[in-house]
Structure 1
Amino acid sequence: MPTSDNELVTAAEACRLLGISTATLYAYVSRGLLGSRPGPDHRSRVYLRADVDRLAQRKRAGRGAARGAAQSLDRGLPVLETRISLIRPDSPYYRGQSAVAAVRAGATLEDIARLLWDCGEQDPFAAPFASAWPQRVQDVAGDASLPPIERALACIPLLALDVRQAFNPALPVRREIAATLLRHNAALLVARAPDARPVHELLGDAWRPGDADFAELVRAALVLCADHELNVSAFAARVVASTGAHLHATVCAGLSALSGPRHGGATMRAYALLRDALDSGDPAGFIASRWQRGEDLPGFGHVLYPHGDPRGAEVLRMLRERRGDAPAMAHVETVIAAAEEASGQHPNIDGLLAALCFVHDLPAAPALVLFAAGRSAGWLAHAQEQQALGTLIRPRARYTGLPPGGADEEAG
């Protein structure tokens, strides 16, 4: 019988489904493999049936090599090697350097792009840069009524037509193309003309002109979002890059993957949580009630950071320093405290991008723009690394449907 994603089960039922003891169940919770929430009597704990089923499936998959491979694309076994980024509890690391430390050292997105692209002494951002859009994209590129991702997706393929060396394999050439593309993507996301300034200044002026503290927060968010190992959008970019496609196509692949509600849409849902909690009149009660009903808390928790997302923690630290006295920040703190009390979960980067916008009286869309503008550096790094390997990403499928001939042949 199909189950609801919000169906809750007791500890005894979770142990039965997983084939484990109560002690092992508690160990799974402490290691972040399974989440729990208060039961009806507030003394017992209950578990989401969907999470228990997912963990049981992964346990079964681990018992056989073929099944393990089949599950490896769901945050499971490694499927590709990379020198670009590494996820550790304290920070993502870009080619061995802490992203959190880079934020505190004042790094810009351009600095991180040079690092991720392994530029060495080359500065691809020093190449000549045109400050106007080609005629064929002018109208769409400047149309602020269009959604940001769709505007970028409409223009980037057309911009590729003017890149004369799009398929040149020389690394210096490809890095210069990537640098221009990173700037173009950022400008398209905010419907501005191409700009050679650092991306955080372009975005900061688009939303809050003259606010230096806000621009610093934008800089930090871009750096922290620049890459995150083999996430969905980076994998999509690598798959496209493995075909030999030009870099513009790989960024379009990343943007397309980011447009889904389970990837880039997380910032929108996190923003809605903050707004709904405010509108409820009782933010702490709203959060606790939502969790007890078996609903998730968008913007909180991360499967790869069971003890807290260091990217979110860094943005929160900076928000507290710069906007700690703002009434909107007090609301954010209330929601964070209530979520941690109810669920034990800490805010992740999606939640803090949403909070950054909420505290500065911006709508939800800029949170996604920050993610897309920053992550483009990582997409371009993965695309260049994949094309340097010269291999095609083409996994095999394990067929589980009817055999040829359908039911008649199966009966025979």
Structure 2
Amino acid sequence: MASSLPRLTAAQVAARLGVKPQTVYAYVSRGLLRRERDARGSTFDALEVEAFAGARRRTAPAAVHPTSGMPLAVVHTDIADIEDGELLYRGRRARDLTDRPFAEVVEWLWDAERVDAPDPAIGSAREMVAALPPHAGAMDRLRAALTGFAADDPLRHDASSATLHRIGWTLLTGLPVALDGDPHGDIARSLVSAWRAPADEATVAAVNAALILLIDHDLAVSTFAARVAASARADGYAAVSAALGAADSPLHISAAARTARLFARVRRGLEPERALAEALQDGNGIPGFGHPLYPGIDDRADALFSFVERLPDGEATMDAARRLSDVVADRTRLRPNVDLALAALASGARLPDDAASTIFVVGRLAGWIAHIRAEYAEQAMRLRPRGEYVGR
């Protein structure tokens, strides 16, 4: 059956891969890419190009200094690790923790008892969110709430574990309420209520599992941004703000929103190939598929799909996820990542599309705080690299 995906020109392929058009034809001559030629010239299969781009990312060596040959950045961490395709937190499988409340897992990870956000701070954060225009997105609301919490905390500038943990608990317990959720001891339930969705047990359990699975993941760019700010002894709110800035990018947490839009199109009845064609137009790859740290399916996605199946609309949601995955797998070797599982969660629980980004940030916040604390224990300004002038 002929593909309904639009074909890419050599120039479009070159732009997608970040190479010159001549290099694209070199790939063709080496049998790495296939082309078809007609009256318009050479064209390429969009999904095949995406698979090739993903393979190049997985096999590319780590960036190194051009003269010393040393990696440009290696930061020791005892928080998360990925071994044999499994995500571990301090040596424990992350998926084995998903039956525990998110706050309980955070208490264990931080070794710090929970302290709920004070009402005045929540009020300040809610006012900041309320001042946003109606079209503001999830990341806009999160940044506004963060600013409100920071402005209300005159004691935030102490770079100590005690102050940092207080800030962390303020954000974890206060953000769902600032985003219009109901106060509740269960952070996942409070967050679900912010979307005015039915807080059935399956939905709360799925959101709780997602929060836990997203706590930390190697040294993502947002986590490194938080550590750089902490290296300069930024307070907890400022370091989290730096992480949010790095997270709000098409190759990080914003990819969750792209995946949610792709998945919503499939759920509305659009054929998976046509939905993929629309998603590929922005040139940032296939959202929801592939991750360089996993040889197969993303461990977090695999764990989260089992919760999605139990959602009110879980059966139809998983059917859409399988149809989309089959199309991608048939044309590439890419497997689902956590963004697809988050999109399926939002769809199956009838949450808004941007719920995926909010869940991602709230879960990762726990990891950011853990990394900020670790950086406070290191020598200040150690993450300020020295520039090497290469201009004329």
Question: Structure 2 length as normaliser, TM-score?
Answer: 0.79
Alignment correspondent of 1:262: 251
- 1:152 has 2:142 as partner: yes
Query: Structure 1 residues 275, 210: CA separation in 2 closer, same or farther (over 3 Å shift)?
Result: closer
Asked if structure 1 preserves the Cα contact closer than 8 Å seen for 2:143 and 2:244, the reply is yes
- Rounded to whole Å, the distance in 2 between the matches of 1:187 and 1:160 is 16
Residues 305 and 290 of structure 1, relative CA distance in 2, 3 Å threshold: same
Distance 1:38 1:215, change over 3 A: farther
Q: How does 1:12-31 map to 2 (within 5 A)?
A: 13-14=26-27
User: What is the CA–CA distance in structure 2 between the aligned matches of 1:360 and 1:53, rounded to whole Å?
Assistant: 33
In the other structure, the counterpart of 1:87 is 82
Cα RMSD for the two superposed structures: 3.9
SS at match of 1:389: coil
Q: Which residue of the other structure, out of 287, 308, 329, is the alignment partner of 1:340? A: 329
Say how many residue pairs are matched.
366
Report deviation, 1:39: 6.3
Q: 1:395 to 1:148 in 2, by over 3 A?
A: same
User: What is the identity, as a one-letter code, of the residue corresponding to 1:83?
Assistant: D
Alignment match of 1:4 (pick from 2, 5, 15): 15
Q: How many percent identity over aligned positions?
A: 25
AA aligned to 1:13 is A
C-alpha distance in structure 1 between counterparts of 2:36 and 2:28, whole Å: 19
Contact 2:124/2:152 (<8 A) preserved = no
Q: C-alpha separation between the residues in 1 aligned to 2:85 and 2:216?
A: 15
CA–CA separation in structure 2 for the residues paired with 1:181 and 1:282: 40
Q: What is the DSSP-based 3-state SS (H/G/I as helix, E as strand, rest coil) of the residue aligned with 2:222?
A: helix
Q: Secondary structure at the match of 1:340?
A: helix
1:157 and 1:341, CA in 2 relative to 1: closer, same or farther beyond 3 A? same
Matches of residues 7-406 of structure 1 in structure 2 within 5 Å? Answer: 13-14=26-27, 51=53, 58=60, 65-66=67-68, 68-69=70-71, 72=72, 78-103=73-98, 106-117=99-110, 119=111, 122-123=112-113, 125=114, 127=115, 129-133=117-121, 136-142=124-130, 145=134, 146-188=136-178, 190-192=179-181, 195=183, 197-207=185-195, 208-278=197-267, 281-283=270-272, 287=276, 296-322=285-311, 326-392=315-381, 393-402=383-392
Shift of 1:142: 4.3
Change (3 A) 1:10 1:48: farther
Distance in 2, matches of 1:60 and 1:304, equals 13
Aligned counterpart, 1:26:
none
Question: Secondary structure of 1:4's match?
Answer: helix
Q: Which has the larger radius of gyration?
A: 1
Deviation at 1:296, TM superposition (A): 3.2
Q: Which moved more, 1:316-325 or 1:204-213?
A: 316-325
- Letter paired with 1:91: E
The 2-side partners of 1:176 and 1:311 are apart by 28
Q: Which amino acid aligns with 2:187?
A: V
Deviations 1:62-91 (A, max 9, x none): 69553554xx4xxxxx52111111122432
Contact 1:37 1:47 in 2 (8 A): yes
2: CA distance, partners of 1:92 / 1:100: 8
1:353-412 CA-partner distances (Å, limit 9, x unpaired)? 11111223333110000001101001111111101113311012333222xxxxxxxxxx
Contact 1:201–1:215 (CA under 8 A) maintained in structure 2: yes
1:100 & 1:53 partners in 2: Cα distance? Answer: 27
SS in 1 for 2:82: strand
Paired residues of 1:222 and 1:375 also in contact (CA < 8 A):
yes
2:138 & 2:284 partners in 1: Cα distance? Answer: 29
TM-score (normalizing by structure 1): 0.75
